[in-house]
Amino acid sequence: MKRLLLSDGRSLAWREAGEGPPLVLLHGWAMSSAVFSEALDQLSSRFRVLAPDLRGHGASEGGPGYEFADFAADLEEWLNALDLRDAVLGGWSMGGQVLLELYPAVRKRVRRLMLIAATPRFASAEDWSEGLPGGQVRAMARDLRRNFRKTMGEFFALQFSGEEIDRGRYRRIVDFAVRQGNLPESETALAALEALRRGDQSGRLASIECPVLVMHGELDRIVPAGAGRYLAEHLPHAELAVLSGVGHAPFLSRPGEVFERWRSFCA
C-alpha cells in the first residue's frame, strides 16, 4: 500500500501496479481497493493501475463527513498530488457516484470514464423506479446497527444472487476482496449508506464530455440494470454493455471477459 498525507493531516492509501497510461479504479460502499486485486494483476502489463481506498475504508483514515463530496475532495487532492494526466477513471457501485461527483473538478486530467454497476440515484422515489425502495435501505441500516458483520456478509452474497458461480470461486473472491481488506467502522458504513439514500446525481450526466463505458449485470439486485440503461441514455458519449447471467460485480463474476472489455475501451 502507498499513502499520501492529505492537507488536513489524514492519510489516503492506495494500491498500485504497472506502468503506462493511468487507470484509476474506485471501489464500492463498505468495500476497499482489495476488491480490485485481480484487476491490478491482470491489467498492470498495459496500464498503471491505481486503486485508492475511500476515506474511512480499507487503509485510508476516516474524516468528519462521508458525503459524495467528501470522498471526491480527497480524491481530487490525491489526483493532483500524483499529477495524473490522460487518465481513465472507473467507478464501481458507490464508486461510480463518487466518480460523477469528482469529474467536474478533474475533467482536464480525464480521458475516459467507466461506470460499473453504477447509478445516478441509489434509492427509488416517485420519479425514479430504478433504485432500491427507501424502506429497504432503512431496513438495511437497522440491520447494520443490530449485527454489522452478519449484514455485511449478506450484502456481499447478494451481489452474486441468481448467478451460477462456482463455490470455490466464491470463496476465493471472499478471501481477497473482503478478508484482505478492512471493513469500515459501522458508523462510517451507516453514514455512507445515508449519503447513498439521499443522493441524486442525474443532473450531472449531461455535462460529462468524455467517452463513458457503462457496464451492468443483467441480474443486479442492488443497482437494477435499468439504472445502467438510464446512464447510457443520458450521458452524451456513452456505450452500454449489459452482461447476461451476471449480478452486481461483473469484474468478479467474469474477470476475463470484463478485463478484456476494459482493455479495449481504455486503449
Active site residue 237: no
Active site residue 248: yes
CATH T-level topology, domain 2-266:
Rossmann fold (3.40.50)
- 65 CB contacts (<8 Å, ≥6 apart)? 191
Catalytic annotation, pick one of 27, 57, 216, 248: 248
Active site residue 93: yes
Q: Where are the domains positioned within the chain?
A: 2-266
The 10s digit of each residue's pLDDT in 111-153 is: 999 999 999 999 999 999 999 998 899 999 999 999 999 999 9
The 10s digit of each residue's pLDDT in 7-32 is: 999 999 999 999 999 999 999 999 99
Catalytic annotation, pick one of 220, 234, 237, 253: 220
Cβ-based neighbour number of residue 207 at 10 Å: 12
pLDDT at 149: 93
Catalytic annotation, pick one of 32, 60, 93, 253: 93
The 10s digit of each residue's pLDDT in 226-265 is: 999 999 999 999 999 999 999 999 999 999 999 999 999 9
The 10s digit of each residue's pLDDT in 70-84 is: 999 999 999 999 999
Name which of 91, 185, 197 is nearest 138 in CA terms: 197
Name which of 165, 222, 175 is nearest 37 in CA terms: 175
Which single residue is written with the C-alpha cell 487503509? 59
Per-residue pLDDT band at 169 (split at 50, 70, 90): very high
pLDDT at 44: 98
Q: What percent of the chain has pLDDT over 70?
A: 100
Flag whether pLDDT at 180 surpasses 90.
no
**Mean per-residue pLDDT for 76-102?**
98
Q: Round the average pLDDT of the chain to a whole number and report it.
A: 96
Q: What are the CB-based long-range contacts (under 8 Å, 24+) for 152-158?
A: 152/30, 152/183, 152/189, 155/30, 155/222, 158/221, 158/222, 158/247, 158/248
Flag whether pLDDT at 89 surpasses 90.
yes
Q: By mean pLDDT, which of 2-11, 31-40, 137-146, 173-182 is the weakest?
A: 173-182
pLDDT at 144: 96
Flag whether pLDDT at 51 surpasses 90.
yes
Q: What are the CB-based long-range contacts (under 8 Å, 24+) for 63-66?
A: 63/8, 63/10, 65/191, 66/188, 66/191, 66/192, 66/195
